[in-house]
Amino acid sequence: MFKKRKRLWITIISIIAVVGVIFAGAGMYFYNVAIVPGQKSFLSKKQKLKKTDPLYKQTKWYQNIKKQKWVMKSADDNLELDANYIPDGNSKKTAILLHGYMNNKDNMGPYAAMFHQLGYNTLLPDARGHGQSQGHYIGYGWREKVDVRKWVKRVIKHNGKDSQIVIFGVSMGGATTMMTSGLHLPNQVKAFVEDCGYTSAKDEIEHEAQALYHMPAFPRFPLVETLSGITRLRAGYFLGDASSVKQLAKNKRPIMFIHGSKDTFVPTSMVYKNYQATKGPKELWIVKGAKHAKSFKTNPKKYQAKISNFLNKYV
């Protein structure tokens, strides 16, 4: 009897060990897919700019405009971060523009053109691990939010204490904007605009695991938990830490939420949870027919007008 129980326990422990090794290996694989910067097969490739592109003029403006190169150290990890700064005369208004997952500052060029037309200086940083900024992991907005606050202070030092600052972001940049909103920020930060940001890194990765790999609840849940643990060890945060919803609950400043009605990469349903979470003045615009990060391209004139009308109340 004792020998049978012993064999049973040995079998159970062996199975658990094998399953643990499998999940650890799978977790490391998905860490490289989701957290380590690099080319991602699930992202659409950048297309050549055509004159028929709705944002052709804005993109060409950004390509041709003279830019100042700004460099600073990250708020932690001593990483060198890179940004482009475009002044607009003697304006005291500045928009800090935050790009999406595995994009870079140049992807925010059309938005810089839009804010220039609205009378803003623009600062376009490369997030850590993206573009020309150093970094070996993607922070999904959680690690980057303190860098954004440091960029805010850099703008104030450059333009003076009477600066008025708007933080704007798309996709991961939108999530970074929301996460930054929950920090203690200088009074010069007047408002936020986020476009298609997720509720949390964990929610987004669980969604992608289902959408891209068609994973059922098991093994999706334990795999994401394993990935979260690995991310904590190697990048300094749990996936659940990177929560727009939790950070928005601390925010009392004005924020505008924009999301495409046909967004399947960051599901449109997420914006309602984000909208409900914030404590300050808020506005929500669902762009009919727009896919992920395509709201500006879907209706450029209305997009600019909506943002202008919102910001004019506070800046």
One domain for residues 210 and 282: no
Distance between CA atoms of residues 275 and 178, nearest Å? 10
Asked if residue 233 lies in contact with residue 266, where contact means CB atoms within 8 angstroms, the answer is no
- What pLDDT, on a 0 to 100 scale, did the predictor assign at position 215? 79
Task: Give the pLDDT confidence of 112-127 residue by residue, as tens digits.
Answer: 999 999 999 999 999 9
Q: What is the rounded end-to-end Cα distance, in angstroms, of the chain?
A: 79
- What pLDDT, on a 0 to 100 scale, did the predictor assign at position 45? 76
Tokens 């999706």, residue located: 220
Of 8-22, 59-73, 122-136, 282-296, the least confident: 8-22
Confidence of residue 16 (pLDDT cuts 50, 70, 90): very low
One domain for residues 107 and 255: yes
Distance between CA atoms of residues 216 and 16, nearest Å? 20
One domain for residues 145 and 86: yes
pLDDT, mean over the chain: 92
**At CA 103, angle to CA 101 and CA 104, rounded to 5?**
125
Of 47-56, 67-76, 179-188, 247-256, the least confident: 47-56
Domain count, the chain: 2
More confident residue, 278 or 17: 278
Average pLDDT over residues 95-123: 98
One domain for residues 78 and 145: yes
Domain ranges, residue 73: 55-200+242-315
One domain for residues 27 and 60: no
One domain for residues 94 and 122: yes
Average pLDDT over residues 139-157: 98
One domain for residues 150 and 217: no
- What pLDDT, on a 0 to 100 scale, did the predictor assign at position 170? 98
Whether residue 11 has pLDDT greater than 70: no
Domain-located, residue 50? no
- What pLDDT, on a 0 to 100 scale, did the predictor assign at position 205? 95
- What pLDDT, on a 0 to 100 scale, did the predictor assign at position 19? 44
- What pLDDT, on a 0 to 100 scale, did the predictor assign at position 26? 77
